[in-house]
Structure 1
């Protein structure tokens, strides 16, 4: 369990870097003199780097020591995050954010792939919930802290994050055990595991459902800071503080989600949670005051904390022999969704000048994703192995 909490810490720093741009976006937009739709590329560059290289990182990590892969990826993450703090231009920032995404692609998949190996089957969902809580904690604590440091200068959050990551990677090198593949598998290329996975009919459905969910999720999330600045005239530090409740909800949902899904059932919890999140996102721009907005933040991300580990569990149930590849595939889908969602949302926001155009898109994509997960649920009733491997 000590190692699981170490994974929590890794997810915390990676998550802080992933979500850091949301409260900083209005400040960086002014710093680099770019439009709202162009500013979204500072988020998309990170996501694009992650999405592209996660596809390579998974098969590689399935053949190597996961600890080694994680440490080298973390080292690249530290360097690229530091470079973001000294970026002289918008183009340079996008380049360094892309590099940070590439590096992170070799870190977080090792966590999702290692958990099913190092814990008992009955503890997998709980352990994934703890790791997911690291992401939630980064929203609860990392984003407000990042907003606080950004009140001094926009460079500071990147320097602090890279310094903390350096300390963590040293601890990781000393504490984490080697996690080597059980056997060396002879495959003609690193892409052959993907061909094997996509021969399974449920892989494409699970992947598309997750992609649609994350596209909708990050379409709205990436521009929350911009919306709060425009409609409520909040400063960057106030935006970070406003997102404190968002992270609190996500962390609590991650920690207790396994109990809720045990009572209601995995797919019922998953699809019901997506329906609630879609309704809350859709209604967000119509709420009359900041207090109700904050309440909605809490409920939305409390629900997200519950259903995200379930989504990871669905992915990991596809094939126990290619967990690293599956973890990378899921992360690639997430960041591909982030890239597409942020780009489309930036265009909609710039064109319509109303946040409800973005949240309406999110609601539609959630409904489509929910329908696909319901299809998986029906197939799962005819294939009990999907549940027993969770």
Structure 2
């Protein structure tokens, strides 16, 4: 199927966007639901906090490793078949999590799930790049990235309810049920996506991977992705502890904070996507970076604060973070050549996963917990995040210039250049 050139989507394109967004919802929820279940797992499985931390990070590192291993093969197959293969593995792994009788079984199940689930986003982004032109990719990414907000609004509260009503296994089995429906829709209605096979790069998978990671323009994109992941993953692991122990949020108020933030992101994500297509993806990225820096410095230096102020600041912070992610993702899709898209997206996804895991570990060395539970050095962590955001903006400028020149070369002289 050729790239859509108009600003309106036909029925099949709307179906693909909705399908990929729902698919992303299941994958994101599987990754995110494990953290809120932490206090239940610590009790039911009789494990330590370090063992639970390993369960969380095992998924990220196995996902990163899988992306690197499979990147060389990503452009050798029909993307629909590749998506089905890895999504099937993801469903099986999540089912194993849903029947895990003990800690070690759960740990192995998370590693297995990560090996398959970690590759799905890169395949989805390659499909978006194949089917949609650069001038509408911001809108598409805006809708697909709503999966993160949806998991906060719907997935996590429902998952926690099922865990309390039945057992901690129930959220995983819920994800399996929804994923099976999504898988059947892919089988029945998604058309083959194989145009890239006609311009397939020569050489075996490892040669293809080697050429992909050796290209300078790709390397600078991977560097930007590394720092892009660093900012968010540094704040996330200790966000709840900081909110409860430093800002005075009650544990019972946390669902309210997550839900209101998620609902706001559901509203703002499509708007941000449209705006990035209209005024330019790098301009939106810069605006998102500015908001992120300001809100990070304010948020990380708060003391005990009323909940309504924290909610307002948190929403603004996530608007900045979401603006960066949507615009950067859309801009990144224009970097690789058609024959390299699968490999590029695979490596890029791996870099993001591994960088996120490393960022979480670094954050653990920066902050510390006092005997009263107070999180110390959080302002320092905020300063490090802001520095990463500023450096990322400089790297993204180089990518913006590269993509702009590339689009100008491929756009007919009679047509206006798409805004990037």
Normalised by the size of structure 2, how large is the TM-score?
Answer: 0.83
Matched, 1:204 2:222: no
Match of 1:83 in 2: 96
Match of 2:193 in 1: 179
Please list every run of 5 or more consecutive structure 2 residues that lacks an aligned counterpart in the other structure: 1-13, 411-419
Q: Alpha-carbon deviation of 1:133?
A: 1.5
Q: Deviations over 1:45-69 (max 9, x none)?
A: 1111111101233332211011111
C-alpha separation in 2, matches of 1:348 and 1:31? 30
2:116 is aligned, of 99, 103, 114, to: 103
Q: Deviations over 1:148-174 (max 9, x none)?
A: 222223221111111111121112211
* Distance 1:71-1:141 versus aligned 2 partners, 3 A rule: same
Residues 282 and 360, structure 1, Cα contact 8 Å, conserved in 2: no
1:115 is aligned, of 128, 135, 145, to: 128
Residues 46 and 101, structure 1, Cα contact 8 Å, conserved in 2: yes
Please list every run of 5 or more consecutive structure 1 residues that lacks an aligned counterpart in the other structure: none
Q: Please, which moves more after superposition, 226-235 or 317-326?
A: 226-235
User: How many residues are aligned here?
Assistant: 388
* Distance 1:224-1:31 versus aligned 2 partners, 3 A rule: farther
Match of 1:305 in 2: 322
Q: Alpha-carbon deviation of 1:227?
A: 4.3
Q: Please, which moves more after superposition, 113-122 or 347-356?
A: 347-356
Match of 1:277 in 2: 292
Residues 349 and 355, structure 1, Cα contact 8 Å, conserved in 2: yes
* Distance 1:26-1:350 versus aligned 2 partners, 3 A rule: farther
* Distance 1:155-1:226 versus aligned 2 partners, 3 A rule: farther
* Distance 1:367-1:217 versus aligned 2 partners, 3 A rule: same
More helix by share: 1
Q: Please, which moves more after superposition, 356-365 or 304-313?
A: 356-365
Q: Please, which moves more after superposition, 26-35 or 69-78?
A: 26-35
* Distance 1:358-1:326 versus aligned 2 partners, 3 A rule: farther
Q: Alpha-carbon deviation of 1:217?
A: 0.8
Q: Deviations over 1:78-134 (max 9, x none)?
A: 111122123233333222111111111332222100112212332122112211112
When Rg is computed on C-alpha atoms for both structures, the one with the higher figure is: 2
Residues 142 and 274, structure 2, Cα contact 8 Å, conserved in 1: no
**Structure with greater contact order relative to length (CA < 8 Å, sep ≥ 6):** 1
What's the Cα RMSD here? 2.7
* Distance 1:81-1:241 versus aligned 2 partners, 3 A rule: farther
